[in-house]
Homo-oligomer: A and B are copies of this chain.
């Protein structure tokens, strides 16, 4: 707690390792709650470092930098899952780390995550550790082609998941010095995501189940709630995620991506604010960013209820022209209801640089997907 002289309210300081857009939006929530907020940024130009009043520039792979960052923080949390496990263990000796190293391990080691989930009896795609092409083809003999190869941690060329149609394609992935495991390729009807928060004293809150619309493995749209999902199945998904949060002793947010194949299979986990939860800024009583802060500070959680019948979030990707701001004029004039979030990131083609949100009621004729998609596309490219 910073106990300020002269009667300023003593408030705790939350340190967030990483200074991307998730930290940037968490910074906004911290200002509202009036709590201290500090980021560990790789560079002063990082998305959150541009807007945060308390920035330390350092390297999250350096034990010294991470420990120096934690000094003066009451709680340390993360906007990514890449802090090395040994550093997390060292951190835990000096400060409250939320989520803790034991929980974070399941976001850092995807094979460990699969094994833990399988041990809990959670439905997942079939998987197997593989270290040779022979093992991949043996796996495919049971599960069929294509086979999905996933990096256990990290990846190469900015990717960690490869859908291999043939043994040749699998061999090409195996040729890289990255440990992978094999996973059954799932033909799903759609992808869903569930976001929950859990606090150290064990309170949990879960948001409505959303549908995520991905292209080439990248989230483009989020529909909240997932249209047409039976309440019984939504509750099943929410219960699963609340149970996982408790089982894995998550503190803070837990986002779970699911394949909907008629039944629900767990695809991925994250323990931080998540792209599938950006709709909550305007669309829920409590944004995921405020909720994460409340959870890691062990404050009572806020209501996760949606405030509109339907909310649609669309990501904005960089196009050929970095002049995104100049396109505000058209987007704002065309739709005074669209909420724009720009992250201050360098514009590179295909890079996520912002998002837009619209809320409304499809029963009243609101064309929310069209409106969000149009705004996001125009911001990216200047084309209607």
Contacting A11 at CB < 8 Å: which of B205, B300, B325, B336? B325
Rounded to whole angstroms, the CA-CA distance of A49 and B54 in the bound complex is: 11
Chain A interface residue number, banded: 35 or more
Contacting pair A329 B299 (CB below 8 A): yes
**A300-326 Cβ-contact flags toward B at 8 Å (1 or 0):** 111101011000000000100011111
A71 vs chain B, min Cβ distance (A):
20
* A33 interface contact, C-beta 8 A: yes
Contacting A347 at CB < 8 Å: which of B7, B28, B51, B53? B7
Given the known A-B contacts A53-B51, A53-B52, A344-B9, are A285 and B325 also in contact in the complex, defined by CB atoms under 8 Å?
no
Contacting pair A34 B344 (CB below 8 A): yes
Rounded to whole angstroms, the CA-CA distance of A325 and B294 in the bound complex is: 12
Contacting pair A8 B322 (CB below 8 A): yes
Rounded to whole angstroms, the CA-CA distance of A337 and B35 in the bound complex is: 19
Contacting pair A353 B9 (CB below 8 A): yes
Contacting A9 at CB < 8 Å: which of B4, B52, B325? B325
Instruction: Please name all residues of chain B whose beta carbon is closer than 8 Å to the beta carbon of A55 when the two chains form the complex.
Output: 53
A288 vs chain B, min Cβ distance (A):
15
Rounded to whole angstroms, the CA-CA distance of A30 and B9 in the bound complex is: 25
Instruction: Please name all residues of chain B whose beta carbon is closer than 8 Å to the beta carbon of A324 when the two chains form the complex.
Output: 9, 34
Contacting A300 at CB < 8 Å: which of B24, B299, B329? B329
**A27-39 Cβ-contact flags toward B at 8 Å (1 or 0):** 1101111110000
Rounded to whole angstroms, the CA-CA distance of A4 and B8 in the bound complex is: 36
Contacting pair B353 A299 (CB below 8 A): no
Rounded to whole angstroms, the CA-CA distance of A306 and B11 in the bound complex is: 32
Rounded to whole angstroms, the CA-CA distance of A10 and B322 in the bound complex is: 8
* A248 interface contact, C-beta 8 A: no
Name the residue on B nearest A328 (C-beta).
B299
Instruction: Please name all residues of chain B whose beta carbon is closer than 8 Å to the beta carbon of A49 when the two chains form the complex.
Output: 53
Contacting pair A7 B346 (CB below 8 A): yes
Contacting A325 at CB < 8 Å: which of B35, B322, B343? B35
12 contacts between A and B (CB under 8 A): A6-B45, A8-B45, A8-B346, A8-B347, A9-B324, A27-B31, A28-B31, A34-B341, A285-B337, A300-B333, A301-B336, A303-B336
The 9 closest A-B pairs by CB, nearest first: A34-B342, A300-B332, A300-B333, A303-B336, A7-B346, A9-B324, A31-B51, A7-B322, A7-B347
